Amino acid sequence: MRTAYTSDQIRAAEAALMATLPEGALMERAATGLAVVCARMLGGVYGSRVALLVGGGDNGGDALYAGARLAARGARVEAIAAGTRVHTGGLEALRRAGGRVVDPEGAAARAVLGAADLIVDGMVGIGGSGALREPYATLARLAAEAPGEVLAVDVPSGVDASNGQVEGAAVQADATVTFGAWKTGLLVDPGRGYAGRTELVDIGLGPHLPDPAVTAPQDADVAALLPRPGATSDKYRRGVVGIAAGSERYTGAAVLAVGGALRGGVGLVRYAGTAEPVAQVRARWPEAVITTLAPGEGVERVGRVQAWVLGPGLGTGDEAHAVARSVLASDVPVLVDADGLTLLAADRSLLHRSAPVLLTPHAGELSRLTDVPRDRIEARRLENVRQAAAELGVTVLLKGSTTLVAQEGRPVVVNPTGSPWLATGGTGDVLSGLTGALLAAGLDTYDAASAGAYLHGIAGRSGPLSAWDVAQALPEAARGLVNGRRRGVPAARLGR
């Protein structure tokens, strides 16, 4: 499990560790790790050109000390002092090693950045928040325009380390070296999109860290959650999921949701829908047990299930409302997606139930449920998913560029396997069916959402693809986890 922390949590842990170490030892550890990554990115240090963007905090000191090590190995290292002050010890070390300091204003800084093989961003530390001021904002833009690679120290300047928010200009890094523990802002968009490849340098914080605010599961964590049939298993013990989805207009949603459940390993699917989606589901999935609903009829005739999936392609009229009310009147966990969320937004009384509820909205659907503007949700995903889970009393899986799972009293789960290839019609229906299958198999809403998003991301890693392709890929994704054939999260997403 990858655990992540706010800047306040990190600073408290650093203070506790520094109290046990000689002065300067912690910065020495960080600078050494940073220099190693710089050398790796440069390929050959001797004769290379390195530009340091240096602020007045500890990240600037880390960059200066690392720059001194590179200069001692033959690199031409030039520091651009963005702040009104710089770390005195780091600056002296750089100058002793042959480095020099350049004023941030004028042509000299532009020339240094334009000629650099590597630009090291140490302008703003983990305590920074809000929009970058000048000259930081201009230097961030110049770094983005320069041909050399950009390496951020701890967190890209302009990214809030505690939540991933970006209020204005920010450094667009090719890679980020973070010290001691993962910062939440490196895992959550929009901040994650500025971090590039990320690498953790251990400086000894572990014993001083509190319980995490955010976690990101890895292969072994999800493999441990996945249900496995035993010698006495039968289709009922493996889980029976009910699916109320599809309509005359959206027949495909029913087919995909049922497919996600079946390919996700459930013991039995009971599908309930009107005549047209029933015909499509029967034709594609003969193993599903099907109940044809009359207009306005609920799901009382469907039979016993361990969990329900409600909403994909269901419609939002009176007949859909009747189905939703009957499903939510049951005493089993219910996953609500798509049109089901629209029905909930219009009739909040549907949520008045004692059994668990898992909502799987995208930002627009969450906006309708919470009356928070969509653009604010996108900009502050972590804050809004937490707030929604607490206010609605449910588990929320917020889909998007970073999929988040929130439940009051537990760390927010960041899914690390998401892929832009999943941004295509119908993939959410597959996710609903898959996650519903995990609910029916006995996982709680929090674990089912976390494991479902993770598997779904693996199945959608390579494209172009369709929702059908994702459903087809689910069994192999699960087998790869269970048999240990995958080696962690793809490097392009979270690094090594």
Q: Are strands 357-359 and 395-398 parallel, antiparallel or unpaired?
A: parallel
User: How far apart are the C-alpha atoms of 368 and 221, rounded to whole Å?
Assistant: 33
Buried b or exposed e, range 284-296, using 16+ CB within 10 angstroms: bbeebebbebeee
Binding site membership: which residues? 58-62, 121, 125-131, 136, 154, 157, 253, 313, 362, 399-403, 428-429
Binding site membership for K(+): which residues? 59, 121, 157
Q: Are strands 412-414 and 404-406 parallel, antiparallel or unpaired?
A: antiparallel
Binding site membership for (6S)-NADPHX: which residues? 58-62, 125-131, 136, 154, 253, 313, 362, 429
Least Cα distance to 444 among 484, 479, 413, 477 occurs for 413
Dihedral Cα 50, 53, 59, 65, nearest 10 deg: 40
Task: List the structure tokens of 247.
Answer: 């309509």
How remote is the C-alpha of 382 from its chain's centroid? 10
Binding site membership for AMP: which residues? 399-403, 428
Dihedral Cα 143, 146, 151, 154, nearest 10 deg: 10
Contact 243, 311 (CB under 8 A): no
Contact 308, 330 (CB under 8 A): yes
